[in-house]
Structure 1
């Protein structure tokens, strides 16, 4: 009996639809929940919901794997591209001159401690990398961008997202009273929140106590801080490919393939927005699409998670997250004090 050549494609399509459909449905539900509870946010609802349902998904792993792989891959990368519609390169230049020393200082301290302390605590390399970039840059978005660069496992992504969420909530509760104790101005607190809080909704929630001036400045700082994703992901991509011990033929093509396509597209979308070619209505739409895609991708991550492996990881990654959160917060305040003298 002769089997038609297109049979494998027909067999794969239902599996792709099953896994991707489950991630989309969970992502939509997480987006609604995140709208109702913005301090928690859709990414956390998506990844936690996926982890809760992961035992069911793992029972149907062969059927769902292709679709979940698509959610964790292409959908995740597209979400990063659409985030570029929020950025104006003019804002980057105007705000960056003032906030860049604080951003670079806090990011440098965070990544260095993630490497040193993470190794001392015995936290696996990919997990400490994700917690480091998530804490130092912009939470779930940075983790989403770094995941394909280092080919992180779903378990590590789920743990990192949960850790970042915990300290985002802590920042919303702790930072405003701390700012009042330190007698920070609205401008200074906006810089503090923009450099030391990860998720945008948490930045708004924390800075909102100080008024709209603090919120506006904090959000712009947060968006500028998101650009740090680009050099960090490039470095991670280079290191990951070197560790992969590529053959000579692959090394010859390394320069051409080093820059991930979605980062190039991210910059292109930001440039279009700067040129005024993306209408305001389209900016808002792309922002919502980006958030939805992140939720779908992280739902796929959660559904792919091995819960037993999370238990085996223990509390050490959480301790690393606490140390990095405290380090970024104190570095941001310390640099502001030193630069103001």
Structure 2
């Protein structure tokens, strides 16, 4: 059993951090039960950020925190597919496409033009543009090798995007209620205007029942934009080496995140009637706990020093792009009659 020992070591390495995230999740779930209007998502992030601000988690918990912030969230998204049918996914995806394409176009054009005017390096403004327009750190990670971005540029872009992830998770539910949006309209807004899956989940969970399913479907369809954007960048500036999509066309398939495939499989299983109601309820309950633990991990990952080191220009560009994307989504919703 040559792989058993490394697997056991990796599992042992993540346990302390996962337990810390689960403990914060338990506290956030208690807050949500006590004050339903607050929900569980924002307390999980807030507690995580507060702990990180007081004392950065040590090396012993870092692997588990990273695991929670990424993998637990992705598993939770897969489980959310148990409440939807294939017809729901196709209908919501088609409905959101005009809004999604509008926001993505505005974001990428503004990132190019404003970034140049602000004298931000081309690779960095591209990373911030795709991170804001598509899906945060996932898009940055996918595009970085295509444009040969440096580790410093990636860190700056991720730090910039993180600031607006947290801000969106807090601001969007307030905005949605202020505009009198129903769950469907808010799901479309959150899924098309918030850049990272974690913040979409947090905002939709906080907004109220019914919004989460719509928001997640819209966000996953939007995440697929990684593929054409990455291919387009590769065609525009092909580069030799390991990351070249043109030299290795088969790598295009690897740009599709695994959890999107898992979400679709779960949706197909539910559509086929393979998931009984008690099982569905259990999966959704587990998903809620995993979401809280994942958001705790994201909060604990906050690196205020990295955000300060990013400087004002990337942050300013990220702020302007986030506002433009939100405004474009609202205009598109109003134009299509979904905004009262």
TM-score (ref. length: structure 2): 0.69
Deviates more, 1:70-79 or 1:228-237: 228-237
Indicate yes or no: 2:333 matched with 1:326: no
In 2 relative to 1, CA 145–7 (structure 1 residues): closer, same or farther, beyond 3 Å?
A: closer
> Per-residue displacement from partner, 1:105-161 (whole Å, max 9, x unpaired)?
21112112222334415585445434434xxxxxxxx65875875687664563232
Q: Distance in 2 between matches of 1:253 and 1:38?
A: 47
Cross-structure match for 1:160: 164
In 2 relative to 1, CA 104–335 (structure 1 residues): closer, same or farther, beyond 3 Å?
A: same
Alignment RMSD (CA, Å): 4.1
The structure carrying a bigger helix percent of its residues is: 1
> Per-residue displacement from partner, 1:228-278 (whole Å, max 9, x unpaired)?
145224446767998894268992652564433222211100100111111
Indicate yes or no: 2:285 matched with 1:285: no
Match of 2:94 among 95, 100, 103: 100
Indicate yes or no: 2:247 matched with 1:246: no
Indicate yes or no: 2:298 matched with 1:301: yes
Cross-structure match for 1:310: 307
In 2 relative to 1, CA 277–299 (structure 1 residues): closer, same or farther, beyond 3 Å?
A: same
Q: Distance in 1 between matches of 2:272 and 2:287?
A: 20
Q: Distance in 2 between matches of 1:11 and 1:175?
A: 50
Which runs of 5 or more residues in structure 1 are unaligned?
A: 134-141, 180-188, 209-214
Cross-structure match for 1:268: 265
Does the Cα contact within 8 Å between 2:130 and 2:140 map onto a contact in 1? no
Does the Cα contact within 8 Å between 1:131 and 1:163 map onto a contact in 2? no
Q: Distance in 2 between matches of 1:145 and 1:330?
A: 26
Q: Distance in 2 between matches of 1:285 and 1:254?
A: 36
Post-superposition offset of 1:40: 4.9
In 2 relative to 1, CA 91–263 (structure 1 residues): closer, same or farther, beyond 3 Å?
A: closer
In 2 relative to 1, CA 193–11 (structure 1 residues): closer, same or farther, beyond 3 Å?
A: closer
Cross-structure match for 1:136: none
Q: Distance in 1 between matches of 2:83 and 2:138?
A: 16
Match of 1:232 among 221, 225, 229: 225
Post-superposition offset of 1:79: 1.9
Cross-structure match for 1:112: 105
Indicate yes or no: 2:25 matched with 1:27: yes
Cross-structure match for 2:194: none
Q: Distance in 1 between matches of 2:301 and 2:204?
A: 29
Cross-structure match for 1:196: 189
Indicate yes or no: 2:43 matched with 1:45: yes
In 2 relative to 1, CA 240–194 (structure 1 residues): closer, same or farther, beyond 3 Å?
A: same
Which runs of 5 or more residues in structure 2 are unaligned?
A: 145-153, 192-199
Does the Cα contact within 8 Å between 1:43 and 1:294 map onto a contact in 2? yes
Cross-structure match for 1:80: 77
Cross-structure match for 1:18: 16
TM-score (ref. length: structure 1): 0.69
Does the Cα contact within 8 Å between 1:87 and 1:270 map onto a contact in 2? yes
Q: Distance in 2 between matches of 1:302 and 1:33?
A: 16
Deviates more, 1:106-115 or 1:315-324: 315-324
